[in-house]
Structure 1
Amino acid sequence: MKLLLLGAAVIAGSVFGMFWLNGGQFETVFHLNELVLVVGTALGAFLVGNTSRVLGDLRAVVAAAMRRRRHGEAFEQELLTLTYTLLQTSSRDGDRALDAHLDDPARSPIFQRSGHVLANTKLVDFTVDALRVAALSKGSRGELDSLLAMEIESRERRMMHPVQALHKLAESMPGFGIIAAVLGLVLAMYDIGAGAATAMITRQVAVAMVGTFFGVFACYAVLSPIANRLSQSVAVEMTGYECVRAAIIAFLSGKTPLLSADAGRRMLQYGALPSFNALEGWVRGAEDGR
């Protein structure tokens, strides 16, 4: 968030601050009619060009980015301890005992201790399904690994659809600005034919150029950076799925629950990669808190 605010301040200072220092007046830049034309056209094009599912996925991607920012290391700790505890339950008490937790994660004491993870319902569903399939496919971990990899790839593609749509919208913004400029020039040409004063014509041309400015500014200073940030967030979000996948495959390969959780640890990118000692401490804390 600090970098986001810093970047916004630098953009505002560089563009509008230098405009003001060079004698520009803000009222000459901010014209509501041009802004409504550019933003309204962009919004309409975005709604026409995307399905309701993509719009819903965009909300989910933004929510995931905000959730990751709030949780950070707490999410990593809960995910790793949850993975370890589930695998330890399977190893010590058998798959039947594990099923009791997988049947209703919201009421499972194991899942309830991991509130941040439990809030990520898609990751919980993936974990539950993966563990169920793992219990049925022991001895065929290669096939399960490929299956989980394909599912993760499919989930990532879906999460990237709204980000790609936002990238395309950003690329289109200069064109919407040109539409506003052309319409402004049409009005100026009409007034020239009607014998309007030169000062009035010049003012209309300047207003028309404001539309182009809005389009270019929205593309390169607003939407493109946001889309790029969301694409990075999606990549990091998927490491949670990779963590679960790596841990389960390691467990099926004969690794202990702790070493299996360590295999998952190496997939995480939510913050600074936690050390093995940190993982061991989290696991001991989870065992002591049982």
Structure 2
Amino acid sequence: MLSLVGIVVVIIMVFGGYVLAGGKMAPILKALPLELMMIGGSAVGAYLTANGTGVIKKSAAGLAKVIKGPKWKDEDYRDLLCLLFILTKLVKTKGVIALEQHIERPEESKIFQQFPKISGDHHVVAFICDYLRMMTMNFDDPYQVEDVMLKDLEKHHEEEHAPAHALQTMAEGLPALGIVAAVLGIVKTMGSINEPVEVLGAMIGGALVGTFMGIFLSYLIVGPLSGRLGQVLDEEARFYNVIKDVLVSHLHGNAPQISIEIGRKSVPTHHQPSFYELDEAVAALPPEL
């Protein structure tokens, strides 16, 4: 939501300053529809040309992420650590075989269903279950598992950041598209060279709106949206890093309490529960889990 506020502030400051300086909005408003058609339309067309269907779909979802912010909140990180505590404790007390019913059908597992927001995210559940399943297959060398996890997270990072990179590429191209629109406006003006000075001035001013809009959209709208999307995706990726750190710590032979404490240290600072908050959350877990 703060991103929308920022865009409103940008528009008010830029055009408000222009009007206060004595500028008239009429020439801009007159030229704006066609200039936006040329610049915005060509930018969208180039975006469709340069990107696959998957990136385009993720771009729409990415813009929603920019408005809503990161998916995972304070309580979600706390719930994740509690979930991992239960799972690692289950392995310690009953062995890896006890995991099978939970990792093969997580949608029916009492453990996963205790945390509905996490269990509702297919990617997170699959990530947890895949590596717990490896443990049941005796693939339990912590260094090898960590290496596989890092490669998995790197692949996930590249795929999730593709829309942000595509938006940044669009932002970098918008000033050039503004120049294209401006040049076409000048070409149109040169075809009316016999018109009075007042008419030519209005036509040249309209052409320059194209240059302005290209720069405005690039540096004040699309570029910042791309940067914010990258920040949101980076923060959401920290959720997976917490899972990795807890499971690798478990494979090193640490107690569940130690493993989730190591995971707690990976939680972003502004979402990180204190030691005592996490301890209370673990103590409040239903005893039958």
TM-score, normalised relative to structure 1: 0.92
> Aligned Cα RMSD in Å?
2.0
For 2:162 and 2:198, the matched residues in 1 are separated by 48
Shift of 1:217: 0.6
For 1:28 and 1:244, the matched residues in 2 are separated by 56
Shift of 1:62: 4.4
Counterpart residue type for residue 148 of structure 2: L
Counterpart residue number, 1:182: 183
Shift of 1:107: 2.1
Counterpart residue number, 1:13: 12
Shift of 1:92: 2.1
1:97-119 deviations in Å (ceiling 9; x for gaps):
21111112222221112122123
Counterpart residue number, 2:157: 156
**Where do residues 210-225 of structure 1 align in structure 2 (5 Å cutoff)?**
210-225=209-224
**Where do residues 1-290 of structure 1 align in structure 2 (5 Å cutoff)?**
1=1, 3-30=2-29, 31-62=32-63, 69=70, 71-137=72-138, 139-192=140-193, 195-269=194-268, 271-287=270-286, 290=289
Whether contact under 8 Å (1:248, 1:260) holds in the other structure is: yes
Whether contact under 8 Å (2:164, 2:226) holds in the other structure is: yes
Q: What secondary structure, in the 3-state scheme, does the structure 1 residue paired with 2:48 have?
A: helix
Shift of 1:275: 1.6
Q: Which moved more, 1:167-176 or 1:6-15?
A: 6-15
Shift of 1:132: 0.9
Shift of 1:272: 3.4
For 2:197 and 2:131, the matched residues in 1 are separated by 72
Whether contact under 8 Å (2:139, 2:145) holds in the other structure is: no
Counterpart residue type for residue 255 of structure 2: T
Q: What secondary structure, in the 3-state scheme, does the structure 1 residue paired with 2:270 have?
A: coil
Q: What secondary structure, in the 3-state scheme, does the structure 1 residue paired with 2:150 have?
A: helix
For 2:91 and 2:70, the matched residues in 1 are separated by 32
1:181-208 deviations in Å (ceiling 9; x for gaps):
011110000010xx21211111111111
Shift of 1:232: 1.1
Whether contact under 8 Å (1:72, 1:271) holds in the other structure is: no
1:83-132 deviations in Å (ceiling 9; x for gaps):
11111222223222211111122222211121221232212111110111
Q: Which moved more, 1:7-16 or 1:165-174?
A: 7-16
Gap runs ≥5 in structure 1: none
For 1:143 and 1:167, the matched residues in 2 are separated by 35
Q: Which moved more, 1:216-225 or 1:155-164?
A: 155-164
For 2:86 and 2:95, the matched residues in 1 are separated by 13
For 2:73 and 2:51, the matched residues in 1 are separated by 31
Change (3 A) 1:264 1:68: farther
Q: Which moved more, 1:200-209 or 1:91-100?
A: 91-100
For 1:256 and 1:64, the matched residues in 2 are separated by 36
Counterpart residue type for residue 179 of structure 2: I
Shift of 1:135: 2.9
TM-score, normalised relative to structure 2: 0.92
| Percent of aligned pairs with the same amino acid | 29
1:237-276 deviations in Å (ceiling 9; x for gaps):
1111111111001111111112111111111227332222
For 1:126 and 1:65, the matched residues in 2 are separated by 24
Change (3 A) 1:62 1:10: closer
Change (3 A) 1:63 1:90: farther
